[in-house]
Amino acid sequence: MSETGPCRVVIPPPPQAVYPSPDLAEEALHQWTKDYGFNLSRRRVRYTDEEDRKVWARNYECDRTGCPKNTELM
Contact 50, 44 (CB under 8 A): no
Bigger pLDDT: 3 or 44?
44
In order of 20, 43, 63, the CA distances from 37 in angstroms are: 26, 19, 10
Chain centroid, CA 53 distance in Å: 24
Q: What is the pLDDT of residue 22?
A: 86
Bigger pLDDT: 42 or 72?
42
Q: What is the pLDDT of residue 42?
A: 86
Tens digits of residue pLDDT in 21-69: 989 999 999 999 998 888 888 888 999 998 999 888 889 888 877 666 6
2 pLDDT band (50/70/90 cuts)?
low
| Domain spans of the chain, in order of start | 22-62
